[in-house]
């Protein structure tokens, strides 16, 4: 588990994820020409309200979905 600080809409927040998820998120961000902060903000906005689940879970699910798309 690795905790990192990211900025979403000008607010700093800390997120704990396993290193493998951070690596995949960084790779996805690079492939899309985004910063890691921008990708995390995009995922945060797409999940809707905080009641929709925590951000760490949303990031893990996003990585899972992206990897599933790659498998075809």
| Per-residue model confidence (pLDDT) at position 68 | 94
Chain segment 27-57, per-residue pLDDT in tens: 999 999 999 999 999 999 998 766 667 999 9
Task: Kindly list the distances between the CA atom of residue 3 and the CA atoms of 12, 15, 67, 68, in Å, as whole numbers in the listed order.
Answer: 13, 5, 22, 25
Gyration radius (Cα) of the chain, Å: 12
CA-to-CA distance for 37 and 10, rounded, in angstroms? 10
Q: What is the mean pLDDT of the chain?
A: 92
Burial of 63 (0-12, 13-18, 19+ CB in 10 A): buried
| Per-residue model confidence (pLDDT) at position 50 | 61
Structure tokens that stand for 25 in this block: 């998120």
Which band of pLDDT confidence, cut at 50, 70 and 90, is reported for residue 72? Answer: confident
| Per-residue model confidence (pLDDT) at position 45 | 92
């Amino acid at each position: 588990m690795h905790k990192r600080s990211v900025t979403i809409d000008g607010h700093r927040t800390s997120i704990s994820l396993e290193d493998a998820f951070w690596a995949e998120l960084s790779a996805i961000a690079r492939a899309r020409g985004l910063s890691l902060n921008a990708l995390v903000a995009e995922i945060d906005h797409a999940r809707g309200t905080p009641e929709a689940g925590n951000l760490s879970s949303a990031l893990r699910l996003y990585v899972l979905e992206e990897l599933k798309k790659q498998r075809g």
